[in-house]
Amino acid sequence: MVGEHTVSSLLAGSLDRKLYTRFEDTIVPTSNGTTQIDHIVVSAFGIFVIETKNVAGWIFGRENDAKWTQVLFGKKWRFQNLLRQNYRHTRALAEFLMLGHSVFHSIVFFIGNCEFKTPMPRRVMNSGLSSYIHKFQSRCMDDVTVANIVRALRSLKVNPALTRQLHVASLGSAIGTNL
């Protein structure tokens, strides 16, 4: 939550509200439950889907690895490749919004005192998030499409059926069916 709040503050202070609309902690319905997206930034330049990870230590991982590794004080922890997780987020959002996947930009942003020990793909970073978003200057959607997307995402934020509690229950039943 600290990492997500830090990114929210960073984006709020660096993105022009006339050009970019931000959404945090959004639960999106999927064909098999729900998915939770840390940050969505909507603009005529695309939809930026940001997965946030708040960690310290060394981070090892490659784009196609199923798991990445965190090393802290000599101990290792494996965690899901966040690019793969965010790919599922962008696919779910594309399906929900009925959009082509090409308008989505998947970003993994690490918060905390971490150091990448393997070369990370350009979409994985621990600094320069706003600069990266600002690099996209070609319009890929018109203003009407952007307004419709913003309206659809706002409807998710006020939908009482899409709560974190129901999302966690959805995850539990998905795990149970995969056992």
| Overall number of domains in the chain | 1
Are 39 and 49 contacting, i.e. CB atoms less than 8 angstroms apart?
A: yes
DSSP 41-63: EEETTEEEEEEEEE--EEEE--T
Residues 143, 149: Cα–Cα separation, whole Å: 10
Judged on CB neighbours under 10 Å (0-12, 13-18, 19+), 31 is exposed
Model pTM? Answer: 0.86
Q: Which residues have a Cβ under 8 Å from the Cβ of 14 and sit 6 or more positions away?
A: 130
| pLDDT, tens digit, 9 for 90 and up, residues 81-138 | 999 999 999 999 999 999 999 999 999 999 988 999 999 888 999 999 999 999 999 9
| Domain span at 102 | 2-177
User: What is the number of alpha carbons within 13 Å of residue 149 lying toward its C-beta?
Assistant: 28
| pLDDT, tens digit, 9 for 90 and up, residues 44-81 | 999 999 999 999 999 999 999 999 999 999 999 999 99
